[in-house]
Amino acid sequence: MTFDSGIKRREFLAVTGTALGLGLTGLHRVIHGDGPAGTTNPRTYGPLKTDPSGVLDLPDGFRYQVFSTQGQEMDDGLLVPGLHDGMAAFAVDDACCLLIRNHEIGTSLAPRYGAFGWQNERLDIVDTGRLYDAGAGENEPSLGGTTSVLYDLKKRAPRAQWLSLGGTGLNCAGGPTPWNSWISCEEWTQRGDLRHARDHGYAFEVPAVTDIGLCDPKPLVAMGRFKREAIAVDPTTGIVYQTEDRQDGAFYRFIPEVPGALDRGGRLQALAIADEHRFDTRNWNDDGTDDMLLGSTLPVSWIDLTDAESPGDDLRYRSHDAGGARFARGEGIWMGDGRLHFVCTTGGTHKNGQVFTYVPSPHEGTMRETEAPGRLTLFIEPSLGSLVSNADNLTIAPDGDLFLCEDGSGSNGMACVTPDGIVERFAENRMNTSELAGACFSPDGRTLFVNIQRPGLTIAIDGPWRHA
């Protein structure tokens, strides 16, 4: 997939008037490809410069630093696992931040991508009682989980890195919490069997601490068992919103009994469009009509779901049967300025992806919610050949720029949507065709971190940010 600096005829990326959040309040432009290339898409950071090292193309003035690559020895004696995925950065002090990063590894790739070595020869370093699933019988543990990296922002290098969650599987994305932790999500509903000691499909909380060692691998069972991709927490209410990476997925929220204490239970619900039964947001109709028009805003309702541990992995089916909406591969989600932005990677008429915005009700999660229901907007739906394709992870810069990571079948990179509606390429993976993942800004907003998933490395990007 090759991207141009302008938009060609019949190619478009339509953007609605919904604010993205964190300052992104002026987004009203509709970018359409019928005009001359470049006239409706002036660049902010400029064209990408070819990276002579063949890793990452960036605009002029930006530089990158690669670190924490798969196979490096960490400070706990284990190895950096591969398949880097979702990630967040937490404040430590003026010099450092803490990255917590997922690794999308199960057991089928074992053990060459895992932390314990090619033959699990380093497994005896850890207390296997601190692994969620150490394997059934003589079998190896599940090799997914998280690593934590204490990163020196001035020296642009790690001070320490270690395995912080172990024994989980296919930890794809997740999300930070307002109480300084990372929720790591298993995109894997493996049941316990002769190889696996426990069921999978849960979310796990990893504290943002700088103490080297494994956290308590406690599954947050009340939040549901499904192919969970990512979460976002509303800091006002403590409600957790969750995406499901299925072609016929649902969109969930979890209302905790005690905000900030997700392990103490709560209510799991699925989104429905108000007064619409089984509404389909995917826009896959064979007759070319859309169920959800670009820019349309629809009121929502929420459906209670019981049996959240879902032994049959049927939460989405029960949601649909009760009238819940369908979404196409819900993936990245981010909270900003009182609204949520989430990606459906294969949604849209061309299956090129969608970005939705959800504005919670002022009475979200209460009995008064029906007085002013939450609102769902189809914010972006790229056409074929547009400036962004099959978006996955996303994050928001301090000035409101939205950064979208791609996970398509060709080359992949990152696109930026600015507050006034300009869409541009910001980065291109020149190393291979792997997806970019885990985009997040440092707490001071001066460094953008992102992963090249395969085989696994993290990149710190610095430069002339508009918000700096």
pLDDT at 66 over 90: yes
- Among 9-18, 35-44, 194-203, 257-266, the range scoring the smallest mean pLDDT is 9-18
pLDDT value at residue 383: 81
pLDDT value at residue 436: 97
pLDDT value at residue 107: 81
Classify strands 203-207 and 181-186 as parallel, antiparallel or unpaired. antiparallel
pLDDT value at residue 29: 32
pLDDT value at residue 13: 33
pLDDT at 8 over 50: no
Task: Give the three-state DSSP class for 429.
Answer: strand
Residues of the chain above pLDDT 90, percent? 78
- 226 by Cβ neighbours in 10 Å (0-12 / 13-18 / 19+) ranks as buried
pLDDT band at residue 43, thresholds of 50, 70 and 90? low
pLDDT value at residue 408: 85
pLDDT tens-place string over residues 51-65: 999 999 999 999 999
pLDDT value at residue 113: 84
Across the beta sheet with 448-452, the strand order is 63-67, 457-462, 448-452, 436-441
- Using CA atoms, how far residue 177 sits from 95, 230, 236, 239, in Å, is 22, 12, 12, 10
Task: Give the three-state DSSP class for 226.
Answer: coil
User: What is the pLDDT averaged over residues 225-248?
Assistant: 98
pLDDT tens-place string over residues 221-233: 999 999 999 999 9
pLDDT at 24 over 50: no
pLDDT value at residue 386: 76
pLDDT at 92 over 50: yes
And the tokens for 348? 């849209």
| C-alpha–C-alpha distance, residues 272 and 291, integer Å | 14
pLDDT value at residue 205: 98
- Among 22-26, 41-45, 92-96, 361-365, the range scoring the smallest mean pLDDT is 22-26
Residues of the chain above pLDDT 70, percent? 88
pLDDT value at residue 420: 66
pLDDT tens-place string over residues 369-395: 999 999 999 988 988 767 888 999 999
| C-alpha–C-alpha distance, residues 121 and 328, integer Å | 40
pLDDT value at residue 110: 53
Average pLDDT in the chain: 89
pLDDT value at residue 375: 98
pLDDT band at residue 10, thresholds of 50, 70 and 90? very low
pLDDT at 457 over 70: yes
pLDDT value at residue 34: 25
| C-alpha–C-alpha distance, residues 172 and 228, integer Å | 8
pLDDT value at residue 337: 83
